[in-house]
Chains A and B, each alone.
Chain A
Amino acid sequence: MNKLDAKIPAGPLADKWSNHKNDVGLVNPANRTKLDIILVGTGLAGAAAAASLGELGYNVKVFCFQDTPRRAHSVAAQGGINAAKNYKNDGDSVYRLFHDVIKGGDYRAREANVHRAAEVSNQTIDQLVAAGVPFARDYSGYLDNRSFGGVQVSRTFYAKGQTGQQCLLGAYSGLIRQVARGKVTMYSRRDMLDLVVVDGRARGIIARNLVTGEIERHSAHAVVLATGGYGTIYYLSTLALGSNASAAWAAHRKGALFANPSFVQIHPTSLPQLNDYQAKLTLMSESLRNDGRIWVPKAKGDRRSANTIPEDERDYYLERRYPAFGNLVPRDVASRAAKERCDAGYGVGDTGLSVYLDFGGAIEKQGKAAIAAKYGNLFEMYEKLTGINPYEEPMRIYPAGHYTMGGLWVDYNLMTTIPGLFAIGEANFSDHGANRLGAGSLMQCAGDGYFILPVTIGDYLADKIREPRMPVDRPEFAAAEKEVRDGLAQLIAVDGSQTVTSFHKRLGRILWDDCGMVRNESGITRALESITALEEEFRRDVKVPGDTAELNQELEKAVKVRDFFALGRLMCHDALARKESCGAHFREESQTPEGEAQRIDSEYSYVAAWEYRGERAPHTLHKEPLKFENVEIKERSYK
């Protein structure tokens, strides 16, 4: 059986989605009220979907682990959301947006999905504005745009540095309206711990009530995962501490293939790690690179303070290496270049693991007021967190784990390889290939949730209207619940001597060093061995205090870390199998003589989708070949 039928509709690229919408099955309004949908995750993707599905009349049960849906990590997105409105009359179009995303993803994304994401992007802005999202406007009263992430047009809509918060609150307001109408039932403070599959179809979940510890069974006609990214696998990242892969991993173990797990974006401008206690790396928006210049001292180990280092003793290494794009090279290029300088001994700060982002020149040219108007809130945040005033001294930054392009494999309908299980938002792999462009994720999340899933899930449900509600006393539910209970009890029973967090830190370090910005065969092999050994130690010696039947934050963390071990290994296998460099995945063995990433299209132009075969069995690799019929494949060059 070919596990990977992407179900891409026939016809010209630009007509696929319209044709598909005309062809799919529909459920009439009266019948929708007989159908139940479980939706896990309330970020921009999940909240938009919940609102839209509730409006259509389905019975939607929504889950999130925070106390309210509006705290999902979409709230932290800063920079903006893309759309092809062409309000700036600068030649933008759906095709150009599509083209930029494909190119930015280094030709490892599916054309049809990306084009559709670009098509619905404009409607997303309309929808968010109608919901009361206060996007930035200019004096005419019309919406403002900025240029973001190294593209040549201004297509990014923004709300100061809080675009994610505002978009999420807009989608959330649609969700709570459906809660008030009784169409959406909200289950907050729940962790999804397993997926229930009945007769080969996703029919429910097992969730843990995080306040009481109760294990609950929930059934539905279809299940949607909108559970976000797993960048927290590195321990330190720009994500919220609760972000995790456990729901996706549960689905994976039940048969959903996991695509491109090693494609992780490392963001170049985050606050550096300052000490061992640090729990989080705060992102400093990419927009800072529009005016800030990145440099390190020309002399190795130069410990003089930044302002005392004369101009001609500074190495503006991005401008030196990439004269055409300079400080605005894509994220992966900027990240690797910073790592290269620091590894070579030119890094600054106590740890030598940071580089300067300097606004001195910009302030001199444009004046302090102009810089404050653009970046005031970011400068304040930086000063709050570091005690350093960036108007006077350069910022110190370093790359951090940020976004996972990998995720559950989905077909054109956003359905995983388990019928009835859908994945939307960052949780799926679909649109960003090997690298994501700035402001592209919010665009995809909102599009998936508002406009795509509501159509494609209807198609799936169209022939299920006579199916009665699934009783939760079926043996499949009992078996899944037992497995969950046993797993939790096991974690407590170890009663070892080391905290969950100490294991998470060590796992993160292994992956950061050998499956992070730069990878090679011997490093990845070493990482695989270390992870396996560490996991053994975890099973033998982790200490999870307390009980399963109570509010137990250590137990919540333990579940996440347990699943990260397995996912971490899969990341390594994926990175090992892809012996090319592409996008954020840089294999040292595959570089040009100048040290730039070398893609190998003849061998690796595919999506790697991994099948779970049991806890100790190796995964099976399935390949979805990628065809490019509407763009010309080029080498990325920022020289």
Chain B
Amino acid sequence: MKIKLKIWRQPNARAEGGFVTYPLEGVSTEMSFLEMLDYLNTTLIDRGEAPVAFEHDCREGICGCCSLYINGRPHGPAGETTTCELRMTKFEDGATITIEPWRSKVFPVLRDLIVDRSSFEQILQAGGFVSANTGTAPEANSIPVAKHHADEAFDAAVCVGCGACVAACPNGSAMLFVAAKVSQLALLPQGRPEARRRVREMIAKMDDLGFGACGNIGACEAECPKGIKLTHIARLNREFLKTGI
């Protein structure tokens, strides 16, 4: 197939960016979206132009490296799919595809389509853990965990920390990401002792870093490639109320 790509190019964090259009022939429907970009890059290198920088690693939807705002949607048009899992069968022959980096002031562009998501690290460092030093753990079966709690904690824990929720949110809120961690650990007895401090500090850090407030719009849930549910935000809110702030 033959497509037209409109891609955000920006040589580094300080430089001005802008869209550049690349017609691309010889695209196969058997390609994944990122294989299509690999192919574009080969043609760019052959022509002596700079290849498009984009982030990726596992190429199987689990590391959370890949991002990309494709035709106005984080991770493109397919539901519950990361960009690396997206296939070219989702696009028509002759289509124009617009590719941008995550748009958010908390995720500054480093080059082309690569953004800096280290603000997520700072939020997690504020409380996204159980303070269990190596060696202190009791025998694993000494604390039973109701299966439905374990399962629900798992559903939250599959967040890959990609940032699509922030990119999708009109307010630029990181609430779904934060809620996934808060909810996972709140559901497990191992996480209970620190539950109040955790939610307080993570929310404070999120606010400090300049993420927007959650308006319960639900765009995050719609675009999350891992199907993280808004119910986790509801649980976060309940946990937050318990802190009495």
CA distance A52 to B137 in the complex (A): 13
Q: A129-B137, A137-B150, A162-B158 known; A241 and B128 CB under 8 Å?
A: no
The answer to whether A141 and B146 touch across the interface, beta carbons within 8 angstroms, is yes
B227 to chain A, nearest CB (A): 11
Of the residues B12, B134, B160, contact of A550 by C-beta under 8 Å: B12
Q: A134-B188, A277-B39 known; A71 and B147 CB under 8 Å?
A: no
CA distance A242 to B126 in the complex (A): 29
Q: In the assembled complex, which residues on chain A have CB atoms less than 8 Å from the CB atom of B38?
A: 277, 279, 501
* B117 is an interface residue with CB less than 8 A from chain A: yes
B100 to chain A, nearest CB (A): 17
Interface segment among B16-24, B27-35, B213-221, B232-240: the answer is: B27-35
Residues in A13-68 with C-beta less than 8 Å from chain B: 48, 51-52, 55, 66-68
* A173 is an interface residue with CB less than 8 A from chain B: yes
Interface segment among A97-105, A174-182, A362-370, A419-427: the answer is: A174-182
Of the residues A131, A277, A279, contact of B59 by C-beta under 8 Å: A279
Contact with B along A122-136 (1 / 0, CB 8 A): 110111011111111
CA distance A240 to B84 in the complex (A): 12
B6 to chain A, nearest CB (A): 21
* A299 is an interface residue with CB less than 8 A from chain B: no
The answer to whether B31 and A277 touch across the interface, beta carbons within 8 angstroms, is yes
Residues in A260-303 with C-beta less than 8 Å from chain B: 274-275, 277-280, 282-283
Q: In the assembled complex, which residues on chain B have CB atoms less than 8 Å from the CB atom of A66?
A: 57, 63, 65
A238 to chain B, nearest CB (A): 8
B135 to chain A, nearest CB (A): 8
The answer to whether A123 and B137 touch across the interface, beta carbons within 8 angstroms, is yes
Q: In the assembled complex, which residues on chain B have CB atoms less than 8 Å from the CB atom of A179?
A: 121, 125
**Which of B35, B89, B137 gathers the greatest number of chain A CB atoms within 10 Å?**
B137
* A451 is an interface residue with CB less than 8 A from chain B: yes
The answer to whether A545 and B190 touch across the interface, beta carbons within 8 angstroms, is no
Contact with A along B135-154 (1 / 0, CB 8 A): 11111110111110011011
* A551 is an interface residue with CB less than 8 A from chain B: yes
* B131 is an interface residue with CB less than 8 A from chain A: yes
* A159 is an interface residue with CB less than 8 A from chain B: yes
Residues in B26-70 with C-beta less than 8 Å from chain A: 28, 30-32, 34-35, 38-39, 42, 45-46, 48-51, 53, 55-65
The answer to whether A176 and B146 touch across the interface, beta carbons within 8 angstroms, is no
Chain A: which residue is nearest B132 at the CB level? A130
Q: Count residues on chain A whose CB falls below 8 Å from chain B CBs.
A: 77
The answer to whether B188 and A68 touch across the interface, beta carbons within 8 angstroms, is no
The answer to whether B188 and A550 touch across the interface, beta carbons within 8 angstroms, is no
Of the residues A71, A129, A133, A454, contact of B64 by C-beta under 8 Å: A71
Q: In the assembled complex, which residues on chain B have CB atoms less than 8 Å from the CB atom of A159?
A: 154, 157
A95 to chain B, nearest CB (A): 20
Q: Count residues on chain B whose CB falls below 8 Å from chain A CBs.
A: 77
The answer to whether B45 and A499 touch across the interface, beta carbons within 8 angstroms, is yes
Residues in A235-258 with C-beta less than 8 Å from chain B: 240-242
Q: A136-B150, A240-B58, A545-B48 known; A173 and B128 CB under 8 Å?
A: yes
CA distance A127 to B161 in the complex (A): 23
Of the residues A141, A166, A211, A501, contact of B147 by C-beta under 8 Å: A141
The answer to whether A141 and B145 touch across the interface, beta carbons within 8 angstroms, is yes
CA distance A48 to B132 in the complex (A): 12
The answer to whether B130 and A274 touch across the interface, beta carbons within 8 angstroms, is no
A50 to chain B, nearest CB (A): 11
The answer to whether B132 and A384 touch across the interface, beta carbons within 8 angstroms, is no
* B185 is an interface residue with CB less than 8 A from chain A: yes
* A539 is an interface residue with CB less than 8 A from chain B: no
The answer to whether B118 and A68 touch across the interface, beta carbons within 8 angstroms, is yes
Chain B: which residue is nearest A386 at the CB level? B87
Q: In the assembled complex, which residues on chain B have CB atoms less than 8 Å from the CB atom of A554?
A: 45, 51
CA distance A451 to B7 in the complex (A): 48
Q: A129-B190, A275-B28, A275-B30 known; A280 and B132 CB under 8 Å?
A: no
CA distance A91 to B207 in the complex (A): 53
Residues in A298-341 with C-beta less than 8 Å from chain B: none
CA distance A122 to B135 in the complex (A): 12
Number of A-B contacts (CB under 8 A): 209
Chain A: which residue is nearest B27 at the CB level? A277
**Which of A48, A67, A180, A553 gathers the greatest number of chain B CB atoms within 10 Å?**
A67
B19 to chain A, nearest CB (A): 19
The answer to whether A180 and B45 touch across the interface, beta carbons within 8 angstroms, is no
Q: In the assembled complex, which residues on chain B have CB atoms less than 8 Å from the CB atom of A177?
A: 125, 129, 131
The answer to whether A67 and B118 touch across the interface, beta carbons within 8 angstroms, is yes
* B11 is an interface residue with CB less than 8 A from chain A: yes
Q: In the assembled complex, which residues on chain B have CB atoms less than 8 Å from the CB atom of A169?
A: 157
Of the residues B116, B129, B135, contact of A67 by C-beta under 8 Å: B116
Contact with B along A169-194 (1 / 0, CB 8 A): 10001101101100000101000000
Q: In the assembled complex, which residues on chain B have CB atoms less than 8 Å from the CB atom of A283?
A: 60
Q: A384-B81, A545-B48 known; A75 and B58 CB under 8 Å?
A: yes
The answer to whether B130 and A132 touch across the interface, beta carbons within 8 angstroms, is yes
Q: In the assembled complex, which residues on chain A have CB atoms less than 8 Å from the CB atom of B145?
A: 137, 141
A504 to chain B, nearest CB (A): 12
CA distance A47 to B39 in the complex (A): 34
B9 to chain A, nearest CB (A): 13
* A432 is an interface residue with CB less than 8 A from chain B: no
**Which of B30, B45, B131 gathers the greatest number of chain A CB atoms within 10 Å?**
B45
Q: A131-B130, A160-B154 known; A241 and B63 CB under 8 Å?
A: no
Chain A: which residue is nearest B130 at the CB level? A132
The answer to whether B129 and A141 touch across the interface, beta carbons within 8 angstroms, is no
Contact with B along A381-413 (1 / 0, CB 8 A): 100110100000000000000000000000000
* A546 is an interface residue with CB less than 8 A from chain B: yes
Contact with A along B201-231 (1 / 0, CB 8 A): 0000000000000000000000000000000
Q: In the assembled complex, which residues on chain A have CB atoms less than 8 Å from the CB atom of B118?
A: 67-68, 188
Residue ranges of B at the interface with A (Cβ–Cβ < 8 Å): 11-13, 28, 30-32, 34-35, 38-39, 42, 45-46, 48-51, 53, 55-65, 81, 85, 87, 89, 110-111, 114, 116-118, 120-121, 124-126, 128-141, 143-147, 150-151, 153-154, 157-158, 160-161, 184-185, 188, 190-191
A–B complex contacts, Cβ < 8 Å, 8 sampled: A126-B137, A130-B190, A132-B188, A141-B147, A160-B154, A179-B125, A279-B34, A279-B38
List 5 A-B pairs, minimum CB-CB distance, nearest first: A141-B144, A130-B137, A173-B129, A130-B132, A126-B137
In the complex, given contacts A85-B140, A132-B191, A177-B129, what are 18 additional A-B residue pairs having Cβ atoms less than 8 angstroms apart?
A67-B55, A70-B64, A75-B62, A123-B137, A125-B140, A127-B132, A132-B190, A140-B144, A142-B141, A174-B134, A211-B110, A240-B59, A275-B28, A283-B60, A381-B61, A384-B81, A545-B49, A550-B111
